[in-house]
Amino acid sequence: MKYQEIRETVLAAIKQSNALGLIHGTSGNISMRDPKENVVAITPSGRDYDTMKAEDITIVDLNGNVVDGDYIPSSETPMHTAVYRARKDVNAVVHTHSLYATVMSMRLKDLDRATVPSNMYYPIHTAPFAMPGSEELAEKAVEALGGQGDVTLLQNHGLLATGATMDAAMTCAIYTEEDAQVGYYAALINMPEDSYIPEEAALAIRGVALSGRAV
């Protein structure tokens, strides 16, 4: 099987996301770039993640053209490949329809500074709604990520997490969903604004993360 390593890495991430409840059925999509070959392994469209095998993962180029595989690539391939074209530092992208990130995205605000781990990715913006699978959504996601952002919420559509490695992108997705969950419950009990992590502290945590040290 060609491109075995990146296909198996994407499959393992899909299985982990499914087990954690970040994705369900065929929703959400995950990809990984091979920077040497300049190709991307991405989940196929409409395939059940419970029964997916490594050889089911589709290989595309950075413009979304199929290079290898028997299945149509994810409908969100334009968003994944747009991120890779814009960000040479990104080699993995995780898009989930996770519950709390989706709820908090509907406010069209930055995610609250609710938990220490998520502030490694501060600030977390929200990209305005655009039709799933569209070039417009791809453009808005890339704009929300900017030149250094790791993750953005997608209005009414979950989150998009990135990383230099798949482990980094998955960790980012997990911590962002956790932050969204805490923020949701904090809003339910009318938590005052000064209960959130101060912005200067969030920036300091982000700085520590960018330096490569543990938070």
pLDDT digit string (tens) for 52-111?
A: 999 999 999 999 999 999 999 999 999 999 999 999 999 999 999 999 999 999 999 999
What kind and span of H or E run contains 157? none
What is the spatial distance between Cα 32 and Cα 39, in angstroms, rounded to a whole number?
8
pLDDT band at 214 (very low <50, low <70, confident <90, very high): low
Q: Which residue, 127, 132, 114, is CA-closest to 189?
A: 114
pTM of the model: 0.95
Find the mean pLDDT for residues 12-22.
Answer: 95
* Cα of 89 vs its chain's centroid, Å: 14
Q: CA-CA distance, 142 to 97, in Å (whole number)?
A: 18
pLDDT-based confidence at residue 47 (cuts at 50, 70, 90): confident
The CATH architecture to which 4-210 belongs is 3-Layer(aba) Sandwich (3.40)
| Residue 215 confidence (pLDDT) above 70 | no
Q: How many helices (H) and strands (E) in the chain?
A: 6, 8
Mean pLDDT of the chain: 95
Active site residues: 76
